[in-house]
A and B are shown apart, each in its own frame.
Chain A
Amino acid sequence: EAQVTQNPRYLITVTGKKLTVTCSQNMNHEYMSWYRQDPGLGLRQIYYSMNVEVTDKGDVPEGYKVSRKEKRNFPLILESPSPNQTSLYFCASSLAWTSGYSYEQYFGPGTRLTVT
């Protein structure tokens, strides 16, 4: 089954404790991205990756890191989480990204993160 998986689905942690949210897709997609969803703000892109070893900042990259060492995986790293990073996080992937042409975006199930 074609899918994007995220782990963990729920996480409660404390300020400053490094964490990683994993994202994996089994569709051989080139483009992957991370979003956070907050009430009243919709989804905002954190980072995206056009292909292996190619990553770039989205709209809200501060406090996050990513890496793309393999095509299928795109982990999101919070080196020193803070309470304002409490949010619902989504990973997404698509076959590619060509400006002006849409490839269907597949979203993971989401990770609800609480930082106390």
Chain B
Amino acid sequence: GIQVEQSPPDLILQEGANSTLRCNFSDSVNNLQWFHQNPWGQLINLFYIPSGTKQNGRLSATTVATERYSLLYISSSQTTDSGVYFCAVERFGNEKLTFGTGTRLTIIP
């Protein structure tokens, strides 16, 4: 099956810092999503981004499908950004998302 690798596995930053999270995948995909799992366990969909760039407030994401990676940018981090960020992909013809192992982000006040 398709492999999804996220880096770094853990990231600790001071409030106000910027961060870049990376997602590499091993095969062509036609669907890529980023999720945030908050410290209480709730999973929230951040972006649907199989290619190109999208922005939503302080968050933005870029996927370069031909090179099989996606980046999630968080600017001016806040403590509420803490949690685990997952990327998930759908390989062509599959009816499901395959998740990466996540990046745990901790923002220190």
A is bound by B: yes
Listed in ascending order, the chain A residues whose CB lies under 8 Å from chain B are 33, 35, 40-45, 48, 50, 56, 58-59, 88, 90, 92, 97, 99-102, 104-107, 109-110
How many residue pairs, one in A and one in B, have C-beta atoms under 8 Å apart? 60
Across the interface, B90 reaches (CB within 8 A) one of A41, A42, A88, A99, namely A99
The chain A residue with its CB closest to the CB of B31 is: A102
Across the interface, A40 reaches (CB within 8 A) one of B35, B95, B101, namely B101
A61 to B51, CA, bound (A): 31
Residues in B with CB closer than 8 Å to A33 are: 96
Residues in A with CB closer than 8 Å to B31 are: 99-102
CB pair A99–B42 under 8 Å, yes or no, is: no
Task: Let me know if B52 is at the binding interface, CB within 8 A.
Answer: no
CB pair A107–B42 under 8 Å, yes or no, is: yes
Q: How far is the CB of A38 from chain B (nearest CB, A)?
A: 10
Task: Let me know if B83 is at the binding interface, CB within 8 A.
Answer: no
- Chain B 84-95 per-residue mask, 1 if CB under 8 angstroms from chain A, else 0: 001010101111
CB pair B101–A99 under 8 Å, yes or no, is: no
The chain B residue with its CB closest to the CB of A47 is: B96
Q: How far is the CB of B14 from chain A (nearest CB, A)?
A: 26
- Chain B 67-107 per-residue mask, 1 if CB under 8 angstroms from chain A, else 0: 00000000000000000001010101111111111100000
CB pair A58–B96 under 8 Å, yes or no, is: yes
Residues in B with CB closer than 8 Å to A45 are: 96-98
Besides A41-B101, A97-B95, A99-B95, 18 more A-B contacts (Cβ < 8 Å) are A42-B4, A42-B86, A42-B100, A42-B102, A45-B96, A45-B98, A59-B1, A59-B98, A90-B43, A92-B43, A99-B92, A99-B93, A100-B92, A101-B31, A102-B50, A105-B33, A105-B45, A106-B45
A43 to B86, CA, bound (A): 9
The chain B residue with its CB closest to the CB of A35 is: B99
Residues in B with CB closer than 8 Å to A102 are: 31, 33, 48, 50
